[in-house]
A and B are shown apart, each in its own frame.
Chain A
Amino acid sequence: MTALHADQLIDGYLARLRVAAADLPSSVREELIDDMRAHIAEARAREPEETDATILNILDRLGDPEMLVAEARQRPAPVPSRQSSAWPGLYQSGILEIGALVLLPFLWVIGVILLWVSPAWKTRDKVIGSIFSLGGYPGIFIIGGAFGHRLIGVTSGGSCTSSTDSAGNVTQACTSMPAWEVIGLILSVALVVIVWLLPVITSVYLALRLRGGRRAQGAIALTEAGST
């Protein structure tokens, strides 16, 4: 009895190993394959009689190529592969993020969709971005249309008269304007300013978080490479 398919079986095994190890650094992969080849040769030399079955047993005892590769992968990765351009986990932000940032104040719905589609922000920042952009400027007009009248109502309590003196200076004299109305007026002006700035502030905030996120992800990629 001889092993009619010995070479085929061994080549098949090594080919599976090569495929499974495709993502390993080539030095690690080649060493693994060389080791397996040497091992198989040693094992064959020890068999008193070689059949296809003995070859299959040798390969079985070696273990699944996928498992060996998993074992080899538990560790990294010599230094050069860490510097490779394709860092897993490092997301390069691009047109999607810029689109989200620009559209958020103006076409809020599209901006929010882009914001949530992009993997460049954490969920917390997406929630903040969606809420504090206040529906963008279209949204602010709608909110203003609904609530603006009340604010105006509050601030028109006092009666003011404007007069122009001979030098052309305008003086405004307000009568019987209660203190709470003054506070209300200041608050409503501040509110309007904040409301008008918020979408822009939100975009700026998201832009900053975007950069931070990229740094953080880069750091994670490095830690993974270092610790696995």
Chain B
Amino acid sequence: MALIRETPRYAYELIEALGKTGLLTTEGTLYPLLSRLRRDGLVKTEWRESTDGPPRRYYELTAEGRRALTAFKNEWTSFRGAVDGILQEGTKS
């Protein structure tokens, strides 16, 4: 979701971006996820003409999606802090 915070993107772009991070091993699983986000109203889609092929479906965050992303970021930051803390405890002792 963070990948479409600033600018709408189409699925293949997202897959390429995630592929670079090594987070996505089976590309197909992104589609059910996107479709779920859409049904939950967290992203909205729009078809746009492409210069080199058939129209593409672009994904964009909704206002609700933005809120969910911010909430997740906060949760993640505190979760990461907690895990880091425990790991550091482990190395100290």
Out of A28, A62, A78, which one reaches B26, CB within 8 Å? A62
Q: Are B32 and A62 in contact (CB under 8 A)?
A: no
Q: Are A41 and B35 in contact (CB under 8 A)?
A: no
With A35-B11, A42-B12 as known contacts, state yes or no: A67 contacts B26, CB within 8 Å.
Answer: yes
Q: Is B22 close to A, CB under 8 A?
A: no
Q: Are A35 and B27 in contact (CB under 8 A)?
A: no
Out of B15, B33, B35, which one reaches A28, CB within 8 Å? B35
By size class, the interface of chain B is: 10 to 19
Q: Is A219 close to B, CB under 8 A?
A: no
Q: Are A38 and B57 in contact (CB under 8 A)?
A: yes
B31 to A: closest C-beta gap in Å = 4
- Collect the chain B residues with CB atoms within 8 Å of residue A32's CB: 31-32, 35
With A41-B54, A62-B27, A78-B39 as known contacts, state yes or no: A71 contacts B12, CB within 8 Å.
Answer: no
With A32-B35, A71-B33 as known contacts, state yes or no: A39 contacts B52, CB within 8 Å.
Answer: no
Q: Are A61 and B54 in contact (CB under 8 A)?
A: no
Q: Report the count of interface residues on A (CB-CB < 8 A).
A: 22
- Collect the chain A residues with CB atoms within 8 Å of residue B35's CB: 28, 31-32, 35, 72
- Collect the chain B residues with CB atoms within 8 Å of residue A64's CB: 26
Out of B15, B32, B54, which one reaches A71, CB within 8 Å? B32
Residue of A nearest to B50 (CB): A42
- Collect the chain B residues with CB atoms within 8 Å of residue A45's CB: 52-53
B50 to A: closest C-beta gap in Å = 9
Q: Is A68 close to B, CB under 8 A?
A: yes
Q: Are B11 and A39 in contact (CB under 8 A)?
A: yes
A43-67 interface (Cβ within 8 A of B)? 43, 45, 61-64, 67
30 contacts between A and B (CB under 8 A): A28-B35, A31-B35, A35-B35, A36-B28, A38-B56, A38-B57, A39-B11, A39-B15, A39-B27, A39-B28, A39-B31, A41-B53, A42-B12, A42-B53, A42-B56, A45-B53, A61-B26, A61-B28, A62-B26, A62-B28, A63-B27, A63-B29, A64-B26, A67-B29, A68-B29, A68-B32, A71-B28, A71-B32, A74-B32, A78-B39
Task: Kindly list the 7 A-B residue pairs having the minimum CB-CB distance in the complex, ordered from nearest.
Answer: A63-B26, A72-B32, A62-B28, A63-B28, A35-B31, A71-B32, A42-B12
Contact residues of B with A, CB < 8 Å? 11-12, 15, 26-29, 31-36, 39, 52-54, 56-57
Contact residues of A with B, CB < 8 Å? 28, 31-32, 35-36, 38-39, 41-43, 45, 61-64, 67-68, 71-72, 74-75, 78
